[in-house]
Amino acid sequence: MNSYAPAIEKLIKAFARFPSVGEKTATRMASHVISASREEAAHLARCLLDVKDEIRFCSECFNLAQGDLCEVCKNKEQRDVTTICVVEDPDSLVSIEESAAYKGLYHVLHGAISPLDGIGPDNIRISELLQRVAKGGVSEIIIATNPTVAGEATALLITNLLGNNGVKISRLALGIPLGADIRYSDRMTIGKSLEFRRKV
Ligand SMILES: [Zn+2]
C-alpha cells in the first residue's frame, strides 16, 4: 500500500470500507476512477453527496425517500392501501417490489429485535406501525421479516401487539430458506413466499 501516492491510497481505503469490497476490488475501483474522465468522477462525487443531502425516510412507511413520500406511497392510487407488508430494511422492500407479486403498501422497521445486540422494540419502527394500523383502513398485515431468530422474534411481537385489532396477519412462508436474507432472495422465491403466506 505504501507505494501508492497518498491521494490514491486514501481513495482505496475509502472504497475498502464498502460492504463486501476487499482491498483488491477497492484498488480496481480506484484505478477505474483514475482512468475515468473528470466529469465521470465529478458525477460520482455528486451522486454520493445528493444521496446524503436528499434521501430521508418516507413520512408514512419509513422507506428511503427523496422528499416527503417514497415512490410506493407516492403512487397510492395504484396500490392496495388496505394491506401493509412489514420488512426489516429498504432493500427487502425493493426485492419484494421486483417480485411484482405484491401491490399493497409497506412498513420498514429498520431492523429486527435482538436483545443480545441491545436492539429492543423501541429501537425499530414498531410503534409507528401500530399507529398506522390504529388510524384504521388496514385489513391485512403481511410480516416479511427475515426467517432468522431476530426476524422471527420481531414477527411474533408484532403478531402479539396487533392480535386483537381485527386485522388479518400473515407471515411469508414457503420458499425463503431459514437463515436466508430477503434482500438477496430471487424474485421467484419471494413471489412464492408471498403467494403461500400463512396466517399467524
Ligand atoms: Zn413510503
DSSP per residue, 26-50: HHHHHHHHHHS-HHHHHHHHHHHHH
Tell me what pLDDT residue 172 has. Answer: 77
C-alpha 105 – ligand 1 centre gap (Å): 8
Q: Reduced to 3 DSSP states, what percent helix, strand and coil does the chain have, rounded to the nearest 5?
A: 50, 15, 35
Question: What number of other Cβ atoms are within 10 A of residue 15's Cβ?
Answer: 19
Residues 184, 51, 113, 58, CA torsion sign:
negative
Question: Which three-class secondary structure state does DSSP give residue 66?
Answer: strand
C-alpha 106 – ligand 1 centre gap (Å): 7
C-alpha 12 – ligand 1 centre gap (Å): 35
- Per-residue pLDDT at 73 exceeds 80: yes
Going by DSSP bridges, is the β-strand pair 198-199/55-57 parallel, antiparallel, or unpaired?
unpaired
Please give the DSSP secondary-structure letter assigned to residue 177: P
C-alpha 90 – ligand 1 centre gap (Å): 10
CB neighbour burial string for 95-125, b if at least 16 within 10 angstroms, e if fewer: bbbebeebebbbbbbebbbbeeeeeeeeebb
C-alpha 78 – ligand 1 centre gap (Å): 14
C-alpha 62 – ligand 1 centre gap (Å): 6
C-alpha 71 – ligand 1 centre gap (Å): 7
| pLDDT class of 85 with cuts at 50, 70, 90 | very high
| Residues composing the chain | 200
C-alpha 138 – ligand 1 centre gap (Å): 15
- Per-residue pLDDT at 193 exceeds 80: no
Q: Contact 178/164 with Cβ under 8 angstroms?
A: no
| pLDDT mean over 67-95 | 96
Tell me what pLDDT residue 132 has. Answer: 95
Element (H, E) at 159: helix 149-162
Identify the structural domains of the chain with CATH numbers, from first to last.
Answer: 74-199 (3.40.1360.10)
C-alpha 65 – ligand 1 centre gap (Å): 7
- Per-residue pLDDT at 83 exceeds 60: yes
- Tell me the per-residue pLDDT of 89-121, one tens digit each, with 9 for 90 and over: 999 999 999 988 899 999 999 999 998 889 999
- Tell me the per-residue pLDDT of 165-181, one tens digit each, with 9 for 90 and over: 789 999 876 567 667 78
